[in-house]
Structure 1
Amino acid sequence: MQRTRLGAIALGATALLGTALAPSAVAGTDSEIPTFQQFASSTFKDTDRQYIVNGDEPISNSGDLKAYYDRMVHGSEEAMEEGLVVNTVYGVDDKWSTSQVGNLTYCVSTKFGSRHSDVVNAMAAGAALWEGASSRIDYVHVPSQDASCTTRNKSVLFSVEPVQTTQYIARAFFPSTPKRSRNVLVDDSIWTSGSWTPANIMGHELGHTLGFRHEHTRPESGTCFEDNNWRPLTPYDSSSIMHYPQCNGTSSNLSMTATDRQGAAALYGA
């Protein structure tokens, strides 16, 4: 979850890419589009050296970043005219298998210190939003792994760890992300985000872990375009939990909508 207003403040290439590589820019002059070298050099790198794009989405290495850049530059003119959208990889839905989505195990690092129980509760509340949308979705906290909660822990599917950054409130991953990069990172600013409750912020991030993209990448949003690697599951929903309020969203608190629940059921079954 990005912490600044994309339309007003450029967070390195995260916001730069969302504006300079939008369809209107592609239709304009080449000088409006940054070179890949410019884009890569200004893209924020996380504590584990992953690139962060679209506010809260990690990219593991420079090769994948180049592929992302190429899709933005060469594919943005073909934005789909068709709320919830699922990420696609080479045209295939980026989702968990039926057996895996029913056992999404995770740990919550004890490095959160006095906030550990708060993060545990926020994760449980965020997970419950999606579990309530589809009975096949089940997030399972494994407390016995909290003391060794890193991406190297093979006893859980993913880890929830603290981070100190000014670039985002929290960030997650997609189902196609390799295990070495499969974590949810949470900054302390999650506790001071106003109407964005920790439960809803974690719900947004867990939406990514299920394969759901930002709703505002749709052309109906009119801003914050990301790329075309997604498939629509529902009609456009400006109030979606996956829609940044600062990207022409109509929800101020990231609450889950009936359309979000319909999209989750469409992808994973009711």
Structure 2
Amino acid sequence: MQRSRLGAIALGTSALLGAALASPALAATDTEIPSFSEYQATAYQDADKQYIVNGDEPIATTGELKAYYDRMVHGSEEAMEDGLIVNTVGGVDDKWSASQVRNLTYCVSTKFGSRYADVVSAMASGAQLWEDASAVDFVYVSSQDANCNTRNKSVLFSVEPVQTSQYIARAFFPSTPKRSRNVLIDDSIWSSGSWTPTNIVGHELGHTLGFRHEHTRPEAGTCFEDNNWRPLTPYDSSSIMHYPQCNGTSSNLSMTATDRQGVAALYGA
């Protein structure tokens, strides 16, 4: 989840991505588009040494960053006309199996210190948003909290603290390898105005279920990312997966009826 305060909006991994590579509609000239080496040099890497693109989505390796860059510069210009959208990998939906989605186990690191109980609560309430609408079941395994990191094989993913000025929180997709499968949360989640911790965590957990940013769709008119997704519902400018600063119409990232329809369409009611 990107920071949304005026003067601090960075779309993608860098200002270059937010400008020259954001959308074909910007009509950037070849001289305005950075080379891959220039782009990589400005790309933000978090504490796990992963590149962060689209505000809160991790990319683990230089090869994957190059593939992302190529999609942005040379990718398909086909417009998707059909709300909640699922990430695709090689044209296949990036989602959990029917059995795994009912057992999405996680731990919450005790390294959150005085905010540990608050994070546990935000995770529970953020998960509930998706669970109430579908067959999804996030399972909190508190016994693993003292050893909560990506190396812990007793849980599917970990929830860990991070200190960064680049984002409020970030997550992963189902296709992400275990070594990179965590939700990182910065302290700024507690001071994000109308964006409540529940809704911010809900947004990030949407990514863990495979859902993309709604604003990559052409209807948003800005913040284009790529075309590697499949529509599940009509476009929803108020979606929990739509950044308000990208022509979204919700100021608080609350879940909508269309979001609920989308997760039920992918994982069952």
Q: TM-score, normalised by structure 1?
A: 0.96
| Match runs of 1:100-115 below 5 Å | 100-115=100-115
**CA distance change for structure 1 residues 85 and 12 in 2, over 3 Å: closer, same or farther?**
closer
Instruction: Report the counterpart of residue 96 of structure 1 in structure 2.
Output: 96
Once the 2 structures are TM-superposed, how far is the Cα of residue 19 of structure 1 from its aligned partner? 3.0
Residues 1-270 of structure 1: matches in 2 within 5 Å?
1-4=1-4, 9-10=9-10, 13-21=13-21, 22-25=23-26, 27-134=27-134, 136-270=135-269
Q: Deviations over 1:234-268 (max 9, x none)?
A: 00000000000000000000000000000000100
Give the match's secondary structure for 2:183.
strand
Unaligned runs of 5+ in 1: none
Q: CA deviation at 1:227?
A: 0.4
1:5–1:246 Cα contact (<8 Å) kept = no
AA of the residue aligned to 1:191: W
SS at 2:243's partner residue? coil
Percent identical pairs in the alignment equals 81
Residue 18 of structure 1 and its aligned partner are, at CA, apart by 3.4
CA-based RMSD:
1.5
Moved more, 178-187 or 16-25: 16-25
* Alpha-carbon shift at residue 23 of structure 1 (Å): 0.8
Kept in 1, the 8 Å contact 2:3–2:167? The answer is yes
The change in CA–CA distance for 1:260 and 1:61 in structure 2 (over 3 A counts) is same
**How far has the Cα of 1:85 moved from its partner?**
0.3
Contact 1:7 1:246 in 2 (8 A): no
1:185-228 C-alpha deviation (Å, 9 max, x unpaired): 00000000000000000000000000000000000000000000
1:13 positional shift:
3.7
Structure 2 spans left out of the alignment, 5+ residues: none
Cα 1:73/1:256, change in 2 over 3 Å:
same
What SS class does the counterpart of residue 245 from structure 2 fall into? coil
Question: Cα 1:6–1:267, aligned 2, differ >3 Å: closer, same or farther?
Answer: farther
Q: Kindly state the Cα deviation for residue 33 of structure 1 after the two structures are TM-superposed.
A: 1.2
Distance 1:6 1:177 in 2: 32
Secondary structure of the structure 2 residue equivalent to 1:159: strand
TM-score of the two chains, using structure 2 as the length reference? 0.96
**Pairwise CA distance, 1:4:** 3.5
Q: Distance in 2 between matches of 1:6 and 1:194?
A: 13
Deviation at 1:14, TM superposition (A): 3.5
Describe the shift of the 1:108–1:8 C-alpha distance in structure 2 as closer, same or farther (beyond 3 A).
closer
Quote how far apart the aligned CAs of 1:87 are: 0.2
Give, in whole Å, the separation in 2 of the partners of 1:221 and 1:6: 19
Q: Secondary structure at the match of 1:77?
A: coil
1:33-86 per-residue CA deviation (whole Å, 9 max, x = no partner) reads 111111111110010100000000000000000001111111152232332000
> What is the DSSP-based 3-state SS (H/G/I as helix, E as strand, rest coil) of the residue aligned with 2:75?
helix
Q: Residue by residue, what CA displacement relative to the aligned partner does 1:118-138 show, whole Å, maximum 9, x if unpaired? A: 00000000000000110x200
Alignment-mate amino acid for residue 154 of structure 1: K
